[in-house]
Amino acid sequence: MFNIHYFASVREQLDSAGETIDASGDINTVADLIAVLSSRGGAWSLLEDRNRVLVAVDQAVADREQRLTGNEEIAFFPPMTGG
Amino acid sequence: MTTMIRVDVQQQDFDLAAEYAAVRGKADNPGAVTIFSGLVRELQDSATADQSLTLEHYPGMTEKALQNIAERACDRWPLSVCRIIHRIGTLLPGDQIVLVATASSHRDAAFDAAHYIMDYLKTSAPFWKKQVAGEQGFWVDSRASDHEAAARWQHKQD
């Protein structure tokens, strides 16, 4: 299972704070997972925008080519504004 | 030298004087302590009185990110103490948001490490700010200038 979290404006635009998704043979990379989520249509296509949406895998920033094994925590969020 | 690193992510306010005393007390023969505090500014272009800033974060990753930034600063400069506090939740104009304190034998390390930590904290720690003024709320955009500031540390000679 992928344990997915959405933060800040991404959460608001998707109207979802998170969900779990079954791992499947089709999801080998972060990009694959994004394709699955984006295929829902509507606001979900915002996840495709690499400039506006960053990804973390197991609480570390990751690029979209990162491989997944099927039980990671994934988070999608806008560029950070701390400090 | 073992550096004492302590990071906290918390809603409650911090006492700058108490944190300084703690850093000074723990530091190993310090010659310099640098303290930085970041505050909530008022929106200048908004006339409403009821402004606030809401800080959202990624529980778990936030603490790791701050710890990682502190460890990188300690690898790069000879610090004996490195303290970071970052607040979350809803804050008002004038409130304290963040504290960075560093202690070292000499001032260059204390100043530069604190500056480095703040520049990375602005861009690499998973917090998101939402500015609220009356009924309106908008998410603060990440700034190119903050990313440039962080990138400059890759080229500087210490």
Return averaged pLDDT per consecutive 10 residues of chain B, 158 residues in all. 90 98 92 97 75 96 96 96 98 97 96 97 95 90 90 83
pLDDT at position B155 is: 77
Is there a contact between B110 and B33 (Cβ–Cβ < 8 Å)? yes
pLDDT at position B158 is: 77
Dihedral sign from CA coordinates of B62, B41, B52, B15: positive
Please report how many Cα atoms fall inside a 13 Å half-sphere around the Cα of residue A72, on the Cβ side. Answer: 22
Residue B32: strand, helix, or coil:
strand
Question: Cβ atoms within 10 A of the Cβ of A69, count?
Answer: 7
Is there a contact between A67 and A32 (Cβ–Cβ < 8 Å)? no
For residue A83, the distance in angstroms to the closest alpha carbon of chain B comes to 5
B129 — alpha (psi -120 to 50), left (phi > 0) or beta?
A: beta
Given A8, A77, A80, which is nearest B124 (Cβ)? Answer: A80
pLDDT at position B46 is: 60
Residue B18: strand, helix, or coil:
helix
Q: Are strands A60-62 and A54-57 parallel, antiparallel or unpaired?
A: antiparallel
Q: Lowest mean pLDDT of A22-26, A31-35, B122-126, name the range.
A: A22-26
Contacts of B129 in chain A (CB under 8 A): 81-82
Q: What percent of chain A has pLDDT over 70?
A: 100
Q: How would you class B94 by CB atoms within 10 Å of its CB: exposed for 0-12, middle for 13-18, buried for 19 or more?
A: exposed
For residue B98, the distance in angstroms to the closest alpha carbon of chain A comes to 6
Mean confidence (pLDDT) of chain A: 96
pLDDT at position B42 is: 86
For B54, the closest chain A residue by CA position comes to A8
For A53, the closest chain B residue by CA position comes to B142
- Token pair 């723990």 in the structure block, residue: B26
Is the pLDDT at A17 greater than 70? The verdict is yes
Question: Cβ atoms within 10 A of the Cβ of B156, count?
Answer: 10
Residues in CB range of A75: below 8 A, 6 or more apart: A4, A5, A6, A7, A55, A56, A59, B58, B61, B126
Q: Is there a contact between A81 and B124 if contact means CB atoms under 8 Å apart?
A: no
Smallest CA-to-CA distance from B125 within A19, A80, A44, A20 is with A80
pTM strictly above 0.95: no
Is the pLDDT at A36 greater than 70? The verdict is yes
pLDDT at position B1 is: 64
pLDDT at position B131 is: 94
Residues in CB range of B3: below 8 A, 6 or more apart: B74, B79, B80, B81, B82
pLDDT at position A8 is: 98
For B117, the closest chain A residue by CA position comes to A83
Q: CB-based contact (8 Å) between A60 and chain B?
A: yes
Beta-sheet strands, E only, within chain A: 2-6, 18-21, 54-57, 60-62, 73-77
ipTM confidence score? 0.94
Please report how many Cα atoms fall inside a 13 Å half-sphere around the Cα of residue A38, on the Cβ side. Answer: 14
Dihedral sign from CA coordinates of A25, A26, A32, A35: negative
Tell me the C-alpha distance between B80 and B2, whole Å: 7
pLDDT at position B44 is: 74
Q: Is there a contact between B123 and A80 if contact means CB atoms under 8 Å apart?
A: yes
DSSP state of A73: E
pLDDT at position B47 is: 63
